[in-house]
Amino acid sequence: MASVNSSTTTIDMFDPLHISPSDATGAHMITEQLIGTENYGIWSRAMIIALRAKNKLVFVDGSCQRPENESGQLMQWERCNTIVLSWIMNTVSKEIFAGIVYSTDAHIVWEDLRERFDRVNGSRIFALHREIGKLVQGNNPISVYYSKLKQLWDEFASLVILPICSCDSAKKYAEIDQQKKLLQFLLGLNDSYAAIRS
């Protein structure tokens, strides 16, 4: 946490208010550029990972709120918030950028983007389920086939979030889910792998 003395303010490197030399405003945190609903899920997931690595996720999830005007940490919070805001602006399309350039709070921008573009709907879940069911190895090596299948499973899991609990039923459900994925994988293998399938 930050400690204040009469001449300087020092901030522990594990405090979200700490700014490291690599926390530049012009940095591109991720290569994915937000263009709309079609890639919001991938963009937000990549941003969450990058912000967590920089210890700045708290600025977009709302848990690091703006201090009072009298606080000795206000200027440092504003600097960190501005850096996070610039990282977001560096990863959105020009059209989206124009709508957020005058914003001053990273959390409000994050929530606005989520509200506008995070459209989890039944049609996408249905499409993913259908893609998973239809995917076969074809001419691809097993590693490519598995990577495609895993990408679909991961996206499906990010859209259909189940409650978390540590009960025996949850463990049993996780085992059944893994078995179902194994069966899907085996069903999509080429006939040359029939012996492995059996």
Chain segment 114-140, per-residue pLDDT in tens? 999 887 667 778 888 899 999 999 999
CB atoms within 10 A of CB 137: 19
Q: Are residues 10 and 105 in the same domain?
A: yes
Structural domain count of the chain: 2
Token match 């078995």: residue? 179
Quickly state the pLDDT bin for 3 (edges 50, 70, 90).
very low
Quickly state the pLDDT bin for 6 (edges 50, 70, 90).
very low
Q: Are residues 86 and 35 in the same domain?
A: yes
pTM assigned to the model: 0.64
| Among 117, 145, 177, residue at a domain's last position | 117
Task: Give residue 46's domain range.
Answer: 2-117
Cα–Cα nearest to 184, from 157, 146, 141, 154: 146
pLDDT digits (tens, 9 = 90+) for 79-104: 999 999 999 999 999 999 999 999 99
Q: Are residues 25 and 78 in the same domain?
A: yes
Q: Are residues 73 and 95 in the same domain?
A: yes
- As a whole number of angstroms, the distance between CA 6 and CA 153 comes to 55
Q: Are residues 110 and 33 in the same domain?
A: yes
